């Protein structure tokens, strides 16, 4: 059996067991790279004449139930669910290699710490380790709730300390430079300008932007209805520059796009009439930053940070920013504070730099 690498090198794993050990280290360290690679899962099922059997089949139903639980009962976003499920599968793949034949009821804390120690030795970042621990804790809590196991082996796992990095924030001048770098001679120019204005003018997450529907726009009231993490709804005010750009895009560009069936309600479409993807928004923003001569690492989330920072610097109330960003608390321990809609609009209109401009 052979594994195909991106550089097309063919490696015979059965004839090179030493290399296989290296491959296991490399694959688990680069979980994202191998997440959808059938070779990785199959590799674990064949090692030294098949003496180590892959356990995924026996726990497949548990993982599927866990996936439904995360989506339906917990209301987690698709990306979070996908990451948790992928990480749990990697743990069991490691388990089948390191502790052949162990049942799900026989798993103890030392098995989990062995896995985490292995990832640490491989150089996995603390943030990735923390995500994996979170996924494993959720999985074993689910198994306890379903009476599949009696004790939770993940209960005593400690999350590694993660250094808090300061987010990248653009200046008002840099955002203006990006807007000016947009080529308005093409229809996509008006769309991209509207995207930038909405991201910066409302602080939306990129996942919220690509899922934005026409039925969620309330221009007369000045609000966008946002469906955020956990399917939680919030109303976010958008200033005049944002509505101005949206209006031009919707009435002069989008109305002429032949929309594919099923996507009639989506706001931001590609030229083929389908919703833009998260990846496409990343590409658009990075390209605009490059054209504007900005050296900072720019992503859609950069505009969310800039939105919050500029409001705070301008004097906006911290609780109002918290509400508009869709954060349940200012810190992870504080209780959610409700802010009325009028207060939010006042903070946007008074303190957002774009709303001080004349359209």
**Which distant-in-sequence residues (6+ apart) come within 8 Å of 117 by Cβ?**
none
Those residues whose C-beta lies under 8 Å from the C-beta of residue 95, and which sit 6 or more positions away, are 55, 102, 107, 111, 115
Question: Which residue in 164, 325, 128 sits closest to 236, CA to CA?
Answer: 325
Fold of 172-356: hpI Integrase; Chain A (1.10.443)
Quick one: 268 exposed, middle or buried, by C-beta within 10 A (0-12, 13-18, 19+)?
Answer: buried
Alpha-carbon distance of 203 to 194, in angstroms, equals 13
CB 200 within 8 A of CB 303: yes
Q: 76, 85 in Cβ contact below 8 A?
A: no
Residue 116, H or E segment: helix 109-121
Per-residue pLDDT, 123: 67
Nearest Cα residue to 248 out of 289, 299, 189, 307: 189
Q: How many CB atoms lie within 10 A of CB 44?
A: 20
Report the C-alpha gap between 110 and 108 in whole angstroms: 5
Per-residue pLDDT at 162: 62
Q: How many CB atoms lie within 10 A of CB 215?
A: 9
Mean pLDDT, all residues of the chain = 77
Catalytic residues: 205, 229, 301, 304, 327, 336
- Please report, for the chain, the start and end positions of each structural domain, with discontinuous segments joined by +: 2-145, 172-356
pLDDT of res. 118: 74
Q: Where are the alpha helices (DSSP H) in 122-255?
A: 126-145, 172-180, 187-202, 206-210, 240-248
Map tokens 């599968």 to a residue. 89
Distances 246 to 224, 250, 275, 340, 343 between C-alpha atoms, Å: 12, 6, 16, 25, 23
78-117: pLDDT as tens digits: 888 998 998 898 888 888 777 777 888 899 988 998 888 8
**List of residues 6+ apart from 143 with CB closer than 8 A:** 62, 66, 104, 149
Dist CA 143 CA 129 (whole Å):
21
* Residues pairing with 2 in the sheet: 12
pLDDT score recorded for residue 280: 95
The pTM assigned to this predicted structure is 0.55
pLDDT digit string (tens) for the chain, length 359 residues: 333 333 333 333 334 444 444 445 445 444 444 444 444 444 444 433 333 333 444 678 889 999 999 998 888 888 889 989 988 988 888 887 777 778 888 999 889 988 888 777 666 777 778 888 999 999 999 999 888 898 889 888 887 766 656 678 899 999 999 999 999 999 999 999 999 999 999 999 999 999 999 999 999 999 999 988 778 888 999 999 999 999 999 999 999 999 999 999 999 999 999 999 999 999 999 999 999 999 999 999 899 888 888 887 777 776 777 788 887 654 422 222 233 445 455 655 665 666 655 55
Residue 43 host element (H or E): helix 38-45
- DSSP conformational letter for 27: H
316: its two tokens = 């906006």
CA 85 to chain CA centroid, Å, is: 14
Phi, psi of 145 (to 5 degrees): -60, -30
In whole angstroms, give the CA distance from residue 132 to residue 127. 9
How many Cα atoms occupy the beta-carbon half-sphere of 60 within 13 Å? Answer: 6
């Amino acid at each position: 059996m052979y594994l195909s690498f991106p550089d097309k090198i063919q490696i015979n794993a059965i004839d090179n067991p030493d290399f296989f050990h290296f491959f296991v280290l490399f694959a688990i360290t680069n979980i994202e790279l191998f997440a959808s690679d059938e070779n990785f899962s199959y590799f674990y099922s064949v090692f030294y004449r098949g003496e180590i059997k892959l356990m995924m089949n026996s726990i497949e139903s548990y993982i599927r139930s866990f996936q439904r639980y995360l989506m339906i009962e917990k209301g987690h976003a698709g990306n979070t669910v996908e990451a948790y499920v992928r990480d749990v599968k990697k743990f069991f793949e490691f388990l089948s290699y390191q502790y052949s034949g162990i049942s799900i009821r026989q798993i103890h804390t030392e098995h989990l710490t062995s896995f985490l120690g292995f990832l640490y030795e491989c150089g996995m970042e603390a943030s990735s380790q923390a995500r994996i621990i979170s996924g494993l804790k959720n999985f074993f809590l689910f198994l306890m709730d379903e009476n599949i196991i009696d004790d939770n082996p993940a209960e005593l796992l400690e999350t590694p300390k993660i250094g808090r990095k300061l987010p990248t924030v653009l200046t008002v001048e840099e955002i203006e430079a990006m807007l000016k770098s947009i080529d308005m001679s093409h229809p996509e120019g008006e769309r991209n300008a509207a995207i930038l204005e909405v991201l910066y003018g409302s602080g939306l997450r990129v996942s919220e932007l690509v899922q934005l529907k026409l039925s969620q726009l309330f221009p007369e009231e000045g609000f966008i209805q946002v469906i955020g993490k956990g399917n939680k709804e919030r109303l976010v005010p958008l200033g005049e520059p944002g509505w101005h750009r949206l209006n031009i895009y919707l009435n002069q560009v989008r109305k002429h796009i032949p929309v594919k069936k099923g996507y009639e309600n989506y706001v931001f479409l590609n030229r083929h009439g389908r919703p833009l993807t998260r990846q496409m928004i990343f590409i658009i923003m990075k390209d605009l930053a490059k054209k504007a001569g900005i050296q900072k690492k720019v992503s859609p989330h950069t505009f969310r940070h800039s939105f919050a920072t500029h409001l705070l610097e301008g004097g906006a109330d911290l609780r109002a920013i918290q509400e508009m960003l869709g954060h349940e608390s200012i810190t992870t321990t504080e209780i959610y504070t409700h802010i009325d809609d009028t207060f939010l609009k006042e903070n946007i209109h008074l303190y957002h730099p774009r709303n001080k401009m004349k359209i």
